[in-house]
Amino acid sequence: MGRLKGVARRLGLARIGRPQSGGDGAVRLVGRRIYILPTRFGLAFALLLLVMLIGSINYSNSMGFVLTFLSGGVAIVSILHTYQNLCGLSLLPGRSQEAFADRPVAFALILRNEETTGRTGIVVQGDGAKPVRIDPAGGASTEVNLSFTGGDRGLFSPGVLTLSTGFPLGLFRAWSRVDVERRCVVYPAPAPRKRALPRTSSGSEHGLGAGGRGVDDFTGLRPYQPGDSPRHIHWKAVAREQTLLTKVFGGEHQEVLHLDWNALPGLNREQRLSQLCRWVLDANEEGLDFGLRLPDREIAPARGEEHRYQCLTALALFGR
């Protein structure tokens, strides 16, 4: 497990529920990184100005010149505003949600505006994701969620993201390409709930526990630990405004599930991973101890969010 953690950290993987460690640097948009070019409309506007200029020359119309030059001046000045709209923003990777292969990957980013002026109409785009348009307020961080479709299990990289804006007049477009250098793990798509969990013979639901009493028998309370099944929470205590307490049932011997790769004959690799993933999710939901056995590694039975994460990550990265 320690080795897995080390690997995860080295790869810079996003972790569920973990606060931003700040290890991955935020990318700040500065002059060198920002490109600016006229849009199609901008080119059409230039053509219009040319026509207006020729008309003014032809009719020797002074006010025609004034209007042409003022319009041109406004267009030129808008370049400065477009550039300024993008400059000084920072893009950091955010806290992404869990991602499974059958659903779009919601990649979270934080757009930080350190300057006092609010920005308008910043578009964040990624390859394979729908563009998102935001207006970051001054001095604030805005969360952006890019929805990437068509992902496969394993390490997902959003690729190079593009921040662009056409503010204020849509005549010019400034953009900057950012590589956030953050990847997230996409778990295999869980199989539909057809197979039951592979419960072992030891410690069946209706058998006797080691304490001599049934598994259903209430033996006591202990403080709530994250990961305990909600079914075992002593809700009356909560109603009496005491802290969360979990009921402990007879038998220290909790049921232990062994989720085994080899226990799925007849399925190909991806199907097995899918099924194992479903089992991990179900087992975790029921608050049971479970262990994972894969051809290349084995994860000892345990409980809790950290364990779940480990198992799912192992499944996701199997063979990659």
Partner 1 sequence: MKKRRPADFVGPQTVAWVVAGLALVVLPHLPRLPAWMAILVLMIWAWRLALVIKPVALPSKWVLALLALGASAGVVASYGTLLGRDAGVALLNLMLALKLLELRDLRDAYSAVLLGFFVAITHFLYSQSIPMAIYILFVLLALTVVLMALENPPAGKGALAELRPRWALAARLLAQATPLALVLFVLFPRVPGPLWSLPVDAYQGLTGLDDQMSPGRISQLSRSDAVAFRVQFDGEPPGAELRYWRGPVFWYTDGATWSRGLRARTGRRSDKVPDYRGLGEAVNYTVTLEPHNRRWLFALDLPVAIPEGAELTGDFQLLASAKIRQRIRYTLSSHPRYRMDRLGSGEGHRGLQLPRRVSPRVESLVVDWKGSALKPETIVAKALAYFREEPFVYTLSPPLLEADPVDEFLFETRRGFCEHYSAAFTLLMRVAGIPARVVTGYQGGELNPLGDYLIVRQSDAHAWSEVWLKDRGWVRVDPTAAVAPERVERGIDTTVLGEGRPVRFQLASGGWLSPLLKGWSQSCDAVDNLWNQWVLSYGPKRQMQLLTRFGFEKMDWWGLGVLLSAGMTLTLLIVAGLVLGKGARERDAAKAAYERFCQKLGTKGLGRDPTEGPLDYSGRICAKRPDLAASVRCITAMYITLRYGRGEARSALGAKAELGRLSRLVRAFRP
Footprint on this chain of partner 1 (rule: CB under 8 A): 22, 25-26, 41, 44-45, 48, 51-52, 54-74, 76-78, 80-81, 83-84, 87, 114-118, 120-121, 131, 137-139, 166-171
Nearest distance, CB of residue 84 and partner 1, angstroms: 6
Q: By C-beta, is 45 or 309 nearer to partner 1?
A: 45
Closest CA to 52 of 71, 39, 73, 38: 71
Nearest distance, CB of residue 141 and partner 1, angstroms: 10
Q: By C-beta, is 128 or 291 nearer to partner 1?
A: 128
Q: By C-beta, is 121 or 227 nearer to partner 1?
A: 121
Closest CA to 276 of 290, 287, 288: 290
Nearest distance, CB of residue 143 and partner 1, angstroms: 16
Q: By C-beta, is 43 or 210 nearer to partner 1?
A: 43
Q: Burial level of 87, CB count in 10 A (0-12/13-18/19+)?
A: middle
Nearest distance, CB of residue 10 and partner 1, angstroms: 19
Q: Any residues with CB less than 8 A from the CB of 186 and at least 6 apart, and which? A: 99, 100, 101, 105, 151, 152, 153, 154, 155, 156, 316
Nearest distance, CB of residue 28 and partner 1, angstroms: 11
Nearest distance, CB of residue 68 and partner 1, angstroms: 7
Using alpha carbons, list the distances in angstroms from residue 132 to 94, 109, 135, 206: 15, 11, 10, 53
Q: By C-beta, is 60 or 268 nearer to partner 1?
A: 60
Q: Any residues with CB less than 8 A from the CB of 124 and at least 6 apart, and which? A: 91, 109, 111, 131, 132, 133, 134, 144, 146, 161, 162, 163
Q: Are 49 and 72 in contact (CB under 8 A)?
A: yes
Q: By C-beta, is 48 or 108 nearer to partner 1?
A: 48
